Amino acid sequence: MPNRSNTDATLPEGIRRRSLAGINGLTVGLLEAGYEQANRPLVLLLHGFPELAYSWRATMLPLAAAGYHVVAPDQRGFGSTTGWDARYDGDVASFRTHNYARDALGVVEALGYRAVHAVVGHDFGAMVAAYCTLVRPDIFKSLVLMSFPFDGPPPIPFDMTRSPPVRHTSSPAEQLAQLSPPREDSMAWFGSSGANADMLHAPQGLHDFLRAYFHVKSADWAGNHPHPLSGSIAELATLPTYYIMEKDVGMAATVAPLMPTPSQVASNRWFTEHDLDVYTAAFQRTGFQGGLNWFRCHAGPIGRSELELFTGRTIDVPSAFVSGESDWGAYRKPGALERMQTSAFTRMEGVHFIEGAGHWVQQEQPDRFNALLLELLERNGRS
Encode pLDDT of 207-240 as tens digits: 999 999 999 999 999 999 999 998 899 999 999 9
Q: Which of 196, 199, 183, 291 is nearest to 240 (CA)?
A: 183
In angstroms, rounded to a whole number, what is the distance separating the alpha carbons of residues 61 and 349? Answer: 25
In this predicted structure, what is the pLDDT of residue 5?
Answer: 47
Q: Which of 107, 157, 45, 100 is nearest to 303 (CA)?
A: 100
Backbone angles phi, psi at 44, to 5 degrees: -105, 125
Q: Can you name the residues that pair with 32 across neighbouring β-strands? A: 16, 71
In this predicted structure, what is the pLDDT of residue 2?
Answer: 39
Contacts of 189 (CB under 8 A, 6+ apart): 195, 245, 250, 251
Per-residue pLDDT of the chain (383 residues; tens, 9 = 90+): 334 444 565 788 999 999 999 999 999 999 999 999 999 999 999 999 999 999 999 999 999 999 999 999 999 999 999 999 999 999 999 999 999 999 999 999 999 999 999 999 999 999 999 999 999 999 999 999 999 999 999 988 887 888 776 666 788 889 999 999 999 999 999 999 999 999 999 999 999 999 999 999 999 999 999 999 988 999 999 999 999 999 999 999 999 999 999 999 999 999 999 999 999 999 999 999 999 999 999 888 888 888 999 999 999 999 999 999 999 999 999 999 999 999 999 999 999 999 999 999 999 999 999 999 999 999 877 55
In this predicted structure, what is the pLDDT of residue 383?
Answer: 53
In this predicted structure, what is the pLDDT of residue 382?
Answer: 59
In this predicted structure, what is the pLDDT of residue 7?
Answer: 53
In angstroms, rounded to a whole number, what is the distance separating the alpha carbons of residues 86 and 92? Answer: 9
In this predicted structure, what is the pLDDT of residue 303?
Answer: 84
At 293, the amino acid letter reads N
Q: Kindly report the pTM of this predicted structure.
A: 0.95
In this predicted structure, what is the pLDDT of residue 1?
Answer: 36
Beta-carbon neighbour count of residue 316 at 10 Å? 12
Q: Which long-range contacts (CB under 8 A, 24 or more apart) does 207-211 make?
A: 207/276, 207/277, 207/280, 208/256, 208/259, 209/251, 209/252, 209/255, 209/256, 210/50, 210/276, 210/279, 210/280, 210/283, 211/259, 211/260, 211/265, 211/276
Contacts of 110 (CB under 8 A, 6+ apart): 20, 22, 23
In angstroms, rounded to a whole number, what is the distance separating the alpha carbons of residues 235 and 328? Answer: 13
The radius of gyration computed from the CA coordinates of the chain, to the nearest angstrom, equals: 20
In angstroms, rounded to a whole number, what is the distance separating the alpha carbons of residues 292 and 90? Answer: 12
In this predicted structure, what is the pLDDT of residue 177?
Answer: 93
